Structure 1
Amino acid sequence: MKAGRYGVYGGQYMPETLMSALIELEETYRRISADPEFSRRLDWYLREYAGRETPLTYCTNISRELGCRVYLKREDLLHGGAHKLNNTLGQALMAKFMGKRRLIAETGAGQHGVATAIAGAALGLPVDVYMGEVDTRRQALNAFRMELLGARVIPVASGTRTLKDAINAAMRDWVTNLGSTHYLLGSCVGPHPFPRIVRDFQSVIGEEARRQVLEREGRLPDTVVACVGGGSNAIGIFSPFVDDDVALVGVEAGGAGLDTPRHGASLSAGSVGVFQGALSYLLQDADGQALETHSVAAGLDHPSVGPEHAMLKDTGRVRYEAVTDAEALAAFRYLSRAEGIIPALESAHAVAYALRSAGDLDRDGILVVNLSGRGDKDVADVAQIRGGAA
């Protein structure tokens, strides 16, 4: 892979004002990647503070019902309630090594903002989080959690007032405050080296899952499934399996259906374009402008996806599918009742695909679903959608 490229995808489509910051970031990441002291400190935070490693839970009831062996990789049990802390602790520690005095971040579902606030509190760095006004309302609990953790939540009223607009606002802040501020990007999107940095910090998920399933089953799984918005939890669990004979499936937000404009499935229904600093798949109009997206899950309504996912789609190494809002809501309820585990609505998309496809495996088939986050943040929304009915 050419530096910063995944096949033809990736790159640095950014204004000159940001190139020095990207060069500094790349040089710092190269240095800390070979620094035993950085690795030692990050390992301590992940293990002693965040609670790694997370369990690989065998789903007794679902496995019996579906007729195959179903496991959940429990990122919902990581401190903060989602996989996001793997990346925020890594980048916040990197910011300290760079001498930065402030963190900024963007968030949609709120989990990345919470994880950045947690990392900032743990490492003594002030945090500002940009969040679209739409998301501050539907994820009010997470907005309050960020403020409780000491972060300042800055609502973004421009555009669609969702994740892509929060990213744009964070980028503008970064340009203005390059000397003091690290932009802690939350997914494997954006200009190089962000996709690689996020992938590497999240790959702990797949490294653990691969080792755990070998210990439990004596062989690798048949299929690994993860939801895909920007794509960080998916690339994290997929990357250690890429060279194995294991089917990998990324599940996008099908919203109201791919035959409507109300979805967030850039890989399933988008085309190639440049968005927020990288070449990748994008939901765009004839003029190359990003389209408004929709998902019942706030973290999946992004119009583009990480460039490594774009390459994995084109090569056929990963299959990308779409799950509708209705299917995700049904899976949210199903997992809660079948196993006593309430998933994030984002993760419920992966669960829904597992339910849909389990019949493709025999009784000894092994299916691993990355449960990227817990569903506390979504309970009020689901209750409202269902009219209060359980």
Structure 2
Amino acid sequence: MNYKNPDKDGYYGEFGGAFIPEMLYPNVEQLQKRYLDIIESDDFQQEYQELLKNYVGRATPLYFAKNLSQKYQTRIYLKREDLNHTGAHKINNALGQVLLAKRLGKHRIIAETGAGQHGVATATACALLGLECIVYMGEIDIARQAPNVGRMKMLGAEVIPATSGSKTLKDAVNEALRDWINNSETTHYVIGSVVGPHPFPDLVARFQSIISKEIREQLFEQTGQQNPDYVIACVGGGSNAAGAFYHFVNEKHVQLIAAEAGGFGIYSGMSAATTFLGTLGILHGSKSLVMQTKDGQIIEPHSISAGLDYPGIGPFHANLFKEKRAAFFSINDDEALTAAFGLTKSEGIIPALESAHSLAVLDKKKFNENDIVVICLSGRGDKDMEMYLKNL
């Protein structure tokens, strides 16, 4: 099976598709027909790659974590997406989509954000490329991610709170979709993860695939082999994981591990572990695994990390789960905090709370001494300092 690319209708196995209101059909159809021709064109790639190198700061390092490796008796490498401009992997996709929007003739950009990193990245791309930017963010997330809200406003974006439902990421997506329906001719919606109607899951995965492309090249340079034994990444919607897995997903000897947000525990009623709790449903324009009641009402998720606080996963990952191509671990809030403090004290790197979920897998699985384990460090922990200080 080719796990990497969807079929012509946007399905990864049984997951995907485009379930959208009629008002959005022209926009989504335009994207479906034009996105590959545009992003694969020479002029697009020349501009995009130049910005990744000289503006974003790619390639990000693949760092051999010597102290962490000694602690866990295996070879651990960290893919340092936290060192990108804006502090996370989100800029890879935001820049690509804003460049795409300009070529589609759109001058107004909307985005949703949970932890704020995607919002900051989108506001950054819009400031650079001269487009209007509106970011929807849950009211609760606005309070717990105040530094990123300040950055977005400084960059010229309008930040609009989502005050319905759980007032978190799911609700921000709802508000952004409503905006897009009302302003479809002028506006492009920069979805921040591998979710939403086709072609967004594929589009975002392609922009994030730079992560695994660089891992292969850097690993070969450092070890003489292109493929690691394990790749570990956190999954909410799943964009950093899609990027980290992308060039390995059809390499059957590379084991993929996704870390979901267990919250207070899988069966606590306060969790975001979709593969453990979800069933087949439709959320935000695609068919995937969704946390929902028997009659299809969304169950509110919980995670200490705003970026993983989502009641579904993208169809790319749902297919990996169903086909047993990736192993999914549930990491609770306390385990993520422990892992974050562990990395900080052993390597001098403060990770984002989202990335800390990936690091916590090290305490849940035994690796062999000669294994090469690559962990995607998706973002830096500046935005989470208030939470860390509360738990010192």
TM range (shorter): over 0.9
Aligned residues between the structures: 384
RMSD, matched Cα: 0.9
Of 345, 349, 357, the residue aligned with 1:349 is: 357
| Contact persistence 1:267–1:310 (CA under 8 A) | yes
Q: What residue number does 2:127 align with?
A: 121
Per-residue displacement from partner, 1:327-354 (whole Å, max 9, x unpaired)?
0000010000000000000000000112
Q: What residue number does 1:259 align with?
A: 267
Question: Which whole-Å CA distance do the structure 2 matches of 1:305 and 1:78 have between them?
Answer: 24
Q: Aligned partner of 1:165: which letter?
A: D
Superposed, which structure 2 residues align to 1:240-255 within 5 Å? Answer: 240-244=247-251, 245-255=253-263
Question: Which whole-Å CA distance do the structure 1 matches of 2:345 and 2:216 have between them?
Answer: 27
| Contact persistence 2:263–2:332 (CA under 8 A) | yes
Q: Aligned partner of 1:239: which letter?
A: Y
Per-residue displacement from partner, 1:154-174 (whole Å, max 9, x unpaired)?
011111111011001000111
Per-residue displacement from partner, 1:59-90 (whole Å, max 9, x unpaired)?
11111111111110000000000000000000
Question: Which whole-Å CA distance do the structure 2 matches of 1:354 and 1:204 have between them?
Answer: 25
Question: Which whole-Å CA distance do the structure 2 matches of 1:266 and 1:66 have between them?
Answer: 28
Per-residue displacement from partner, 1:9-60 (whole Å, max 9, x unpaired)?
1011111111110011122202213310001000011111000000000111
Question: Which whole-Å CA distance do the structure 1 matches of 2:180 and 2:278 have between them?
Answer: 29
Question: Which whole-Å CA distance do the structure 1 matches of 2:285 and 2:368 have between them?
Answer: 43
Question: Which whole-Å CA distance do the structure 2 matches of 1:159 and 1:182 have between them?
Answer: 25
Superposed, which structure 2 residues align to 1:100-179 within 5 Å? Answer: 100-179=106-185
Matched residue SS, 1:113? helix
Question: Which whole-Å CA distance do the structure 1 matches of 2:276 and 2:376 have between them?
Answer: 20
Q: Aligned partner of 1:207: which letter?
A: K
Of 296, 303, 310, the residue aligned with 1:295 is: 303
> Cα distance, 1:362 vs. partner?
2.3
Q: What residue number does 1:32 align with?
A: 38
Q: Tell me the percent identity.
A: 50
Superposed, which structure 2 residues align to 1:1-390 within 5 Å? Answer: 1-3=6-8, 4-219=10-225, 220-244=227-251, 245-357=253-365, 360-384=366-390, 386=391, 390=392
Matched residue SS, 2:250? coil
| Contact persistence 1:268–1:321 (CA under 8 A) | no
Q: Aligned partner of 1:39: which letter?
A: Q
**Structure 1 residues 214, 355: closer, same or farther in 2, change over 3 A?**
farther
Question: Which whole-Å CA distance do the structure 2 matches of 1:253 and 1:276 have between them?
Answer: 20
Question: Which whole-Å CA distance do the structure 2 matches of 1:2 and 1:213 have between them?
Answer: 31
Matched residue SS, 2:79? strand
Q: Aligned partner of 2:245: which letter?
A: F
TM-score for both structures, normalised by structure 1: 0.97
Matched residue SS, 1:185? coil
Per-residue displacement from partner, 1:191-226 (whole Å, max 9, x unpaired)?
001000000000000110111112211222111100
Q: Aligned partner of 1:306: which letter?
A: G
Q: Aligned partner of 2:130: which letter?
A: G
Runs (4 or more) in structure 1 with deviation over 4 Å come to none
Matched residue SS, 1:373? coil
Question: Which whole-Å CA distance do the structure 2 matches of 1:366 and 1:9 have between them?
Answer: 31
Matched residue SS, 2:247? helix
Question: Which whole-Å CA distance do the structure 1 matches of 2:136 and 2:269 have between them?
Answer: 26
Question: Which whole-Å CA distance do the structure 1 matches of 2:185 and 2:34 have between them?
Answer: 14
TM-score for both structures, normalised by structure 2: 0.97
> Cα distance, 1:371 vs. partner?
0.2
> Cα distance, 1:188 vs. partner?
0.3
Question: Which whole-Å CA distance do the structure 2 matches of 1:383 and 1:321 have between them?
Answer: 26
Q: Aligned partner of 1:234: which letter?
A: A
Question: Which whole-Å CA distance do the structure 1 matches of 2:103 and 2:380 have between them?
Answer: 31
| Contact persistence 1:102–1:127 (CA under 8 A) | yes
Question: Which whole-Å CA distance do the structure 1 matches of 2:315 and 2:40 have between them?
Answer: 25
Question: Which whole-Å CA distance do the structure 1 matches of 2:64 and 2:364 have between them?
Answer: 18
Unaligned 5+ segments in structure 2 are 1-5
Per-residue displacement from partner, 1:88-133 (whole Å, max 9, x unpaired)?
0000000111111111000000000000000001111110000010
Question: Which whole-Å CA distance do the structure 2 matches of 1:88 and 1:34 have between them?
Answer: 17
Question: Which whole-Å CA distance do the structure 1 matches of 2:274 and 2:292 have between them?
Answer: 9
